[in-house]
């Protein structure tokens, strides 16, 4: 059958086992950390949860974008995106740890009723929005929307593998339009709930868009890394062409610029306004150790990727492009630390990073990656009956005919 020609490489099985071992070790260390300092354990869990959730939800956004726009770039990473969205139920379990920390009063200052009663503005927020019951209901709504969107898109995609029916592609395209709108709204409110409310006094109208761009960027960087690994093995080595990496590199550049635009716009508006209730969020993040981290984020999260991705030859070379994607993923974690850690209930103005922060990332991530690879290996690595499949294969054949030119260009 044609499905057997597009099975995932056997190397993924070994990688799946190793990721589970890493996840198990990280989880055990995190549990030990909870016994030593439960408050720090809950706070580290929030950071790890947000990082891996960002890849899953960002993959959902890119998947819907691919259904709307088409193109070979999206088809070659579609199964990676779909597998990442099918791990969303696990990220919901990760959120339960965060929710326990919220009810315990270890993460969010607005759970302290005495603090919220100190001013009329905080009391209004606590009564209407920042209360644990409504916080929990909103989280259930976010996950329900994300999981339902992922469920239908994956179900129709699986049915398309079994039957060449153009109506399935139309269904996915029709759902993706309103789905992207829901993505923007849910990510905006989720970022307000889970991150911006760490400082209940401060607010920003651009903050949600920052996470929309950041989570899409995380997902694309992860998808590029996975495609580079798959392109080194059959069958994807016969499907993926330099043109696909070039297109993905251009989209990566666009998302890097979009994230930087939102980040700089927020900083410029708040800094020029110079209002005490707004500027206080940036003060601890631009001084001392956190100020150094901010400079590192500017250079390694924006400046260097921007300069590298301007190169046409780099975007067409998977070995070089995957290095840029890996750098972006690392900097996404560093940026999360910079956004979250200087909040009052965490380290405040002091530059302090706990050993549990990377441990939570590794523990959650090992299990997440194990489940991701399990999902990826269960389906053909390409949507075999998609209407765009012939054009993608044609691009690969054209690339083979010009293989010598591509090798010569990469060496240069």
Kindly report the backbone phi and psi dihedral angles of residue 342, in degrees, each rounded to the nearest multiple of 5, phi listed first: -75, 5
Q: Quick one: pLDDT at residue 412?
A: 44
Mean pLDDT of all residues in 272-279: 85
* CB proximity list for 306: less than 8 A, separation 6 or greater: 253, 256, 257, 260
pLDDT of 213 above 50: yes
The pTM of the full predicted model, rounded to 2 decimals, is 0.93
pLDDT of 229 above 50: yes
Q: Is residue 267 part of a domain?
A: no
Q: Quick one: pLDDT at residue 118?
A: 72
The total domain count for the chain is: 1
When computed from its CA atoms, the radius of gyration of the chain, rounded to whole angstroms, is 22
Give the pLDDT confidence of 129-180 residue by residue, as tens digits: 888 999 999 999 999 999 999 999 999 999 998 888 888 989 999 999 999 9
Q: Is residue 343 part of a domain?
A: no
Crossing angle for the helix pair 242-273 and 318-340, to the nearest 10 degrees: 20
Q: Is residue 79 part of a domain?
A: yes
Q: Quick one: pLDDT at residue 401?
A: 52
pLDDT of 398 above 80: no
Q: Is residue 45 part of a domain?
A: yes
pLDDT bucket at 411, cuts 50 / 70 / 90: very low
Burial of 306 (0-12, 13-18, 19+ CB in 10 A): middle
Give the integer Cα–Cα distance in Å for 209 and 100: 27
Q: What percent of the chain has pLDDT over 90?
A: 70
pLDDT of 119 above 80: no
Mean pLDDT of all residues in 194-205: 92
Q: Is residue 259 part of a domain?
A: no
Q: Is residue 214 part of a domain?
A: yes
Give the integer Cα–Cα distance in Å for 150 and 257: 27
| Phi-psi domain of 129 (left: phi exceeds 0; alpha: psi -120 through 50; beta: other) | alpha
Burial of 342 (0-12, 13-18, 19+ CB in 10 A): buried
Q: Is residue 407 part of a domain?
A: yes
Q: Quick one: pLDDT at residue 23?
A: 96
Burial of 2 (0-12, 13-18, 19+ CB in 10 A): exposed
The H-or-E segment that residue 258 falls in is: helix 242-273
Q: Which domain holds residue 187?
A: 7-246+356-396+403-411
Mean pLDDT of all residues in 69-90: 93
Q: What is the DSSP letter of 125?
A: H
Q: Quick one: pLDDT at residue 408?
A: 45
Closest CA to 383 of 373, 374, 391: 391
Give the pLDDT confidence of 94-108 residue by residue, as tens digits: 999 999 999 998 999
Q: Quick one: pLDDT at residue 390?
A: 78
Closest CA to 259 of 215, 214, 218: 214
- Higher confidence at residue 393 or residue 357? 357
Q: What percent of the chain has pLDDT over 70?
A: 94
Q: What is the DSSP letter of 86?
A: T
| 174-203 b/e (C-beta count within 10 Å ≥ 16 → b) | ebbeebbebbeebbbbbbbbbbbbbbbbbe
Q: Is residue 187 part of a domain?
A: yes
pLDDT of 404 above 70: no
pLDDT bucket at 261, cuts 50 / 70 / 90: very high
Closest CA to 321 of 212, 214, 226: 226
To 5 degrees, how large is the angle CA 334–CA 66–CA 361?
A: 25
DSSP conformation letters of 259-300:
HHHHHHHHHHHHHHHT-HHHHTTTTTTSSHHHHHHHHHHIII
Q: Quick one: pLDDT at residue 2?
A: 45
pLDDT bucket at 275, cuts 50 / 70 / 90: confident
Mean pLDDT of all residues in 261-273: 93
Of 1-10, 203-212, 227-236, 257-266, minimum mean pLDDT range: 1-10
Give the integer Cα–Cα distance in Å for 187 and 191: 6
């Amino acid at each position: 059958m044609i499905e057997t020609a597009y099975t995932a490489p056997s190397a993924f099985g070994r990688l799946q086992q190793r990721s589970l071992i890493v996840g198990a070790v990280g989880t055990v260390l995190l549990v030990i950390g909870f016994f030593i300092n439960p408050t720090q354990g809950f706070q580290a869990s929030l950071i790890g949860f947000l990082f891996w959730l960002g890849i899953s939800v960002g993959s959902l956004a890119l998947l819907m974008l691919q259904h709307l726009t088409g193109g070979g770039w999206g088809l070659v990473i579609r199964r990676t995106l779909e597998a990442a969205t099918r791990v969303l139920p696990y990220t919901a379990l990760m959120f339960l740890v965060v929710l326990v920390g919220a009810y315990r009063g270890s993460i969010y200052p607005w759970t302290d009723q005495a603090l919220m009663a100190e001013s009329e503005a905080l009391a209004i927020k606590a009564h209407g929005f920042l209360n644990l019951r409504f916080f929990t209901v909103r989280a259930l709504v976010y996950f329900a929307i994300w999981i339902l969107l992922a469920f239908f898109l994956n179900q129709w995609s699986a049915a398309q593998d079994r039957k060449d029916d153009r109506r399935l592609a139309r269904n996915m395209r029709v759902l993706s339009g309103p789905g992207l709108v829901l993505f923007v709204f849910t990510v905006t409110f989720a970022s307000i709930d889970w991150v911006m409310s760490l400082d209940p006094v401060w607010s920003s109208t651009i903050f949600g868009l920052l996470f929309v761009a950041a989570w899409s960027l995380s997902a694309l960087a992860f998808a590029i890394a996975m495609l580079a690994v798959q392109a080194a093995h059959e069958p994807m080595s016969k499907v993926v062409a330099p043109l696909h990496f070039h297109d993905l590199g251009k989209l990566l550049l666009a998302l890097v610029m979009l994230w930087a635009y939102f980040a700089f716009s927020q900083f410029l508006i708040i800094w020029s306004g110079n209002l005490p209730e707004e500027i206080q969020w940036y003060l601890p993040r631009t001084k001392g150790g956190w100020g150094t981290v901010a400079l590192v984020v500017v250079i390694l999260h924006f400046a260097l990727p921007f300069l590298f991705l301007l190169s046409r030859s780099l975007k067409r070379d998977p070995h070089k492009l995957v290095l840029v994607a890996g750098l972006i993923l690392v900097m996404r974690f560093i940026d999360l630390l910079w956004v979250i850690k200087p909040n009052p209930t965490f380290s405040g103005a002091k530059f302090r990073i706990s050993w549990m922060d990377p441990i939570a990332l590794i523990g959650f991530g090992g299990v997440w990656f194990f489940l991701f690879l399990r999902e990826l290996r269960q389906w053909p690595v390409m949507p075999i009956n998609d209407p765009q499949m012939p054009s993608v294969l044609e691009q690969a054949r054209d690339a083979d005919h010009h293989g010598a030119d591509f090798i010569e260009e990469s060496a240069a």
